[in-house]
Structure 1
Amino acid sequence: MKQVIIIAIVAVLAWQGYSRYQERAASTSKTPRKAWSPSAQPNTATAETFRCDGRTHCSQMTSCAEATYFLKNCPGTKMDGNNDGVPCEQQWCR
């Protein structure tokens, strides 16, 4: 019986610790990223709404305008394979 009580206490403490971890992670996370999907509508937002947030690949973009902003303003992007200044030519900027 003593072992069952100890296991129950450990389980409750683990659950509480995990819940606090999840709350802390949610409160300190950056802007949530949209999951890419082929049916995503192009983003009509202006460049003022974009900001460098660590995304570097075309699959993480939602429009040609967004990819162009990231290529011109954010370091470390990998969206212009042929170095012609046009990002994501096979996906967004055709």
Structure 2
Amino acid sequence: MKKLLFIGLIGFGGWQYYSNNIEEKNSFSNVSFSAPIQTKTQTVPRPSYTCDGRQHCSQMRSYEEAKYFISHCPNTKMDGDHDGIPCERQFNK
């Protein structure tokens, strides 16, 4: 009799475990998978600068261009006081 009760408890526990796992798996079947909503992001076009031999502030068209040149190009002569700000007089920085 004890064996039968023990087998019944094991069977009931197994059934509970099985039914919980089936419910979890089936709960995902009701979920609708669709493509994520995409929001439009505006990207500001960045001018592409290249190191073309220009070295002086008088050759720069913008502060951003001068900043690029002192950061990426060798032998520039745009930052006399070496503070990282190029062409201070020309662009009022």
Which is greater in Rg?
Answer: 2
For normalisation by structure 2, the TM-score amounts to 0.50
Normalising by the residue count of structure 1, what TM-score does the alignment of the two structures yield? Answer: 0.49
